[in-house]
C-alpha cells in the first residue's frame, strides 16, 4: 500500500486525533465496515472548500435536521454550506435508530427461532446465538445506509460540506477550520448527546451509553440498565434475548412513564416473562468497581440491595449540544434545555433558526425532519409555518412495539374536551390471532363529532400502523371516515376499522334503535 492509500485508510485513533474522543468511540472496532462508514460520513482526506461570498444558508450540524434542511435548500437553488464536527448522519445513523434497530432485529430473530415450535417448526439442534456476528451485521447495515448521508451525496445535491468545529463569530458569520462563512440565514442543528448520570462513583466505575454500546463485540453476561425509558427498554430486551442477565433500575414507578398505565403494565409483564428483572421506584445510592464486576447499590422501600454487572448501560435523558458554538457572539439565547426558539423556529437572532434535538422537547428523528422543513420554509421563503401545528407520532421498538400519536385521554380532559375512549384487544382481530400477537388498540375521540384526538397501539407492527391515525388527526378526520375505509383482510390494520365500528355502535342509543325498528316494521308491512 502506497503512502497515499495509507493516508486514505485512516480510522480509529487517526480520526480521533483530529476531531476528538467522541469520534474514536463511534467507529470502534476498527473493521472494514466502520472504515466504510468513516469514508462516507467523515472522509479522512476531505478538503474543506474555500468560501466565496455570502451563503443563503449555513447549517451547523449534519444530523437529520441539518441534512434535510441543507439538501432541501440546495435542491431549490440556494447556496448552502453545512458544517459537521464529527460524523454526518448524526445520532440516528451512527448511534441511534440505525444500529439499535439492526440489533433489535437480530434479537427478534433469536426469539422467532426459539419460539418456532409453537408453529410446528422444530430445530434439530440447539440454537447458537452469536452476538459478535449480530453486531458485525449491524455495522455492515450501518455502513451501507451511510451512503445516503455521505459528504459525497451532499455535494451531488449542491451543498458545500465543511468538517470541523463551527462557531459563530458575529450575528451573520460562522468560522470553521479558519474559514469565515457569511450567511443570509443560518440553522443550528447540532442535536443532543447522552446525559451524564448524577450517581456517585459511576464515572470511576465506567458505564455505557448509546454513544458506546454499539462498539461492543462481546455479550456482557450481566447487564444493568439504568433508566426505564425507550432506550433502556429496547436495549434491555435485546440483550436479554441474546442471553444476558438483565436488570432495569429506574426511579420511575413504571416503564415508559409517558404511556398509559396499562401499556406500561403489559410491557412489564412481558419483560418479566422473558426473565428481565425490574427494580422500579428505587434510588441508586452509588456505583462501585469491584473485583467481580461493577456494583450499584439501590435504595428501595423494603431494603437496600446491590446488583453486580459486567456492564452498566445508562439511558437517563439527553443534553443539547450548544457548547463551543459561541452563541453569545450571534446574540442567540439558550439554556440547559437548548436553543430558545419561537413557534416558527426562529432564535433571538432573526437571521438564525434552529431545528431538531438542540431545541426540541421531542427528540425523535422524524420530529427533526419535520422541524427542518418548517425552518427551511420560514427562513428562506417568508413562510409562517408553526411547529405547534405538528402532529407527532412516536414508537418504542420493544416487542410488542408501543406507538402513540396525539392526545392521551387525561390530556383531552385537562383541555375540557368531552372525550370518549375505545379500546380493543388484538385477540379480537383475526390476523394478530393467526400471528400469535399480543396487545391492543385504543382511540380517543370527541364524543359528539367522532373527531380523532389521539391513539395508542401496542402490537408487533405498531410503528408501521400508527401512521393511519397520524394522517387522520392531521387532517381532522373522524372515526366515521376510518369505518368507511376498506382495510384488507386479514391484516393487523383492521384494528382501526374495528375501533371505528365500536364508535358507530356507541351512537346507536335505545331511542335511535326504537326509531330504526319502527321504520323497518313499516318497510316490512309495505312489502
Q: Is residue 519 part of a domain?
A: no
Domain identity same for 237 and 182:
no
Domain identity same for 488 and 443:
yes
Domain identity same for 274 and 160:
no
Res 509: pLDDT: 77
Residue 451 CB coordination number (10 Å): 17
CATH number of the CATH domain containing 159: 3.50.50.60
Which residue among 316, 351, 370 closes a domain?
316
What is the DSSP code string of 77-110? T--EEEEESS-TTHHHHHHSHHHHHHHHHHHHHH
Q: Is residue 168 part of a domain?
A: yes
What region does 322 belong to: left with phi over 0, alpha with psi -120 to 50, or beta? alpha
Helix ranges (DSSP H) in 324-382: 365-380
Domain identity same for 367 and 258:
no
CATH number of the CATH domain containing 440: 3.30.390.30
Domain identity same for 456 and 479:
yes
Q: Is residue 22 part of a domain?
A: no
Q: Is residue 527 part of a domain?
A: no
User: Could you list the residue range(s) of the whole structural domain that residue 382 is in?
Assistant: 29-194+320-388
Q: Is residue 16 part of a domain?
A: no
464 Cβ contact partners less than 8 Å away, ≥ 6 residues apart:
none
Q: Is residue 2 part of a domain?
A: no
Domain identity same for 290 and 354:
no
Domain identity same for 237 and 170:
no
Res 516: pLDDT: 77
**In this structure, what is the dihedral angle of CA atoms 496, 410, 388, 334, given to the nearest 10 degrees?**
-130
Find out whether the peptide bond into 271 is cis, omega within 30 degrees of 0.
Answer: no
Res 6: pLDDT: 34
Find out whether the peptide bond into 329 is cis, omega within 30 degrees of 0.
Answer: no
Residue 52 CA to residue 102 CA, distance in Å, equals 42
Whether the Cβ atoms of residue 468 and residue 461 lie closer than 8 Å to each other: no
Which residue among 388, 411, 427 closes a domain?
388
Q: Is residue 17 part of a domain?
A: no
Is residue 146 classed exposed, middle or buried when 0-12, 13-18 and 19+ CB atoms within 10 A define those classes? buried
C-alpha cell at 269: 409483564
Which residue among 262, 282, 316 closes a domain?
316
Res 9: pLDDT: 31
3-state class (DSSP) for residue 517:
helix
Q: Is the dihedral of CA 457, 458, 460, 463 positive or negative?
A: positive
Domain identity same for 157 and 37:
yes
Residue 497 CA to residue 480 CA, distance in Å, equals 9
Strands 419-425 and 440-446: antiparallel
Domain identity same for 368 and 337:
yes
Residue 415 CA to residue 350 CA, distance in Å, equals 33
Domain identity same for 307 and 343:
no
- Closest alpha carbon to 225 in 280, 183, 174, 181: 280
Domain identity same for 369 and 428:
no
Task: Tell me phi and psi for residue 519, to 5 degrees.
Answer: -65, -45
Q: How many domains does the chain have?
A: 3
pTM for the model = 0.91
Res 508: pLDDT: 79
What are the 10-residue block averages of pLDDT along the chain, 527 residues in total? 34 39 65 95 95 96 98 97 96 95 96 90 84 97 97 97 97 97 98 93 95 96 97 97 97 95 97 97 94 92 82 94 97 97 98 98 96 97 94 97 97 97 96 95 95 97 97 96 96 96 86 79 80
Domain identity same for 312 and 427:
no
Q: Is residue 525 part of a domain?
A: no
Amino acid at each position: 500500500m502506497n503512502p497515499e492509500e495509507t493516508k486514505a485508510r485512516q480510522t480509529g485513533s487517526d480520526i480521533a486525533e483530529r476531531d476528538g474522543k467522541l469520534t474514536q468511540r463511534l467507529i470502534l472496532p476498527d473493521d472494514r465496515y466502520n472504515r466504510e462508514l468513516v469514508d462516507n460520513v467523515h472522509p479522512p482526506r476531505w478538503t474543506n472548500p474555500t468560501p466565496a461570498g455570502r451563503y443563503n444558508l449555513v447549517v451547523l450540524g449534519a444530523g437529520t435536521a441539518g441534512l434535510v434542511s441543507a439538501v432541501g435548500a440546495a435542491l431549490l437553488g440556494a447556496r448552502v454550506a453545512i458544517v459537521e464536527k464529527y460524523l454526518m448522519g448524526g445520532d440516528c445513523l451512527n448511534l441511534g435508530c440505525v444500529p439499535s434497530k439492526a440489533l433489535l432485529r437480530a434479537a427478534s430473530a433469536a426469539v422467532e427461532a426459539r419460539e418456532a415450535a409453537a408453529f410446528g417448526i422444530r430445530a434439530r439442534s440447539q440454537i447458537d446465538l452469536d452476538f459478535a456476528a449480530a453486531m458485525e451485521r449491524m455495522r455492515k447495515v450501518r455502513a451501507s445506509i451511510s451512503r445516503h448521508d455521505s459528504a459525497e451525496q451532499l455535494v451531488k445535491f449542491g451543498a458545500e460540506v465543511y468538517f470541523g468545529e463551527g462557531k459563530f463569530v458575529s450575528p451573520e458569520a460562522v468560522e470553521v477550520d479558519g474559514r469565515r462563512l457569511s450567511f443570509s440565514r443560518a440553522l443550528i442543528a447540532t442535536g443532543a448527546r447522552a446525559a451524564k448520570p448524577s450517581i456517585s462513583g459511576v464515572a470511576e466505575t465506567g458505564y455505557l451509553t448509546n454513544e458506546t454500546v454499539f462498539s461492543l463485540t462481546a455479550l456482557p453476561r450481566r447487564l444493568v440498565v439504568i433508566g426505564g425509558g425507550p432506550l433502556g427498554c429496547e436495549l434491555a430486551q435485546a440483550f436479554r434475548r441474546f442471553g444476558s442477565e438483565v436488570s432495569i433500575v429506574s426511579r420511575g414507578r413504571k416503564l415508559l412513564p409517558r404511556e398509559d398505565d396499562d401499556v406500561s403494565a403489559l410491557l412489564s409483564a412481558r419483560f418479566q416473562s422473558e426473565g428481565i428483572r425490574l427494580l422500579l421506584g428505587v434510588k441508586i445510592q452509588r456505583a462501585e468497581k469491584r473485583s467481580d464486576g461493577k456494583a450499584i447499590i439501590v435504595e428501595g422501600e423494603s431494603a437496600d440491595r446491590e446488583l453486580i454487572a459486567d456492564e452498566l448501560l445508562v439511558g437517563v435523558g439527553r443534553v443539547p449540544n450548544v457548547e463551543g458554538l459561541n452563541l453569545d457572539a450571534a446574540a442567540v439565547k439558550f439554556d440547559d434545555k437548548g436553543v430558545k426558539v419561537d413557534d416558527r423556529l426562529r432564535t433571538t437572532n432573526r437571521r438564525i433558526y434552529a431545528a431538531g434535538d438542540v431545541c426540541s422537547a421531542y427528540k425523535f428523528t422524524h420530529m427533526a425532519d419535520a422541524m427542518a422543513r418548517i425552518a427551511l420554509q420560514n427562513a428562506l421563503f417568508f413562510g409562517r409555518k408553526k411547529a405547534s401545528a405538528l402532529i407527532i407520532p412516536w414508537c418504542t421498538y420493544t416487542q410488542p412495539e408501543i406507538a402513540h400519536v396525539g392526545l392521551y385521554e387525561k390530556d383531552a380532559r385537562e383541555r375540557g374536551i368531552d372525550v370518549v375512549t375505545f379500546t380493543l384487544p388484538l385477540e379480537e382481530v383475526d390476523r394478530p390471532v393467526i400471528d400469535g400477537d399480543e396487545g391492543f388498540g385504543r382511540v380517543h375521540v370527541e364524543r359528539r363529532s367522532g373527531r380523532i384526538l389521539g391513539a395508542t397501539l401496542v402490537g408487533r407492527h405498531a410503528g408501521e400502523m400508527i401512521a393511519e391515525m397520524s394522517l387522520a388527526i392531521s387532517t381532522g378526520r373522524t372515526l366515521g371516515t376510518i369505518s368507511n375505509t376498506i382495510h384488507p383482510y386479514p391484516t393487523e390494520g383492521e384494528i382501526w376499522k374495528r375501533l371505528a365500528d365500536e364508535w358507530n355502535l356507541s351512537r346507536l342509543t335505545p331511542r335511535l334503535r326504537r326509531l330504526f325498528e319502527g321504520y323497518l316494521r313499516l318497510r316490512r308491512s309495505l312489502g
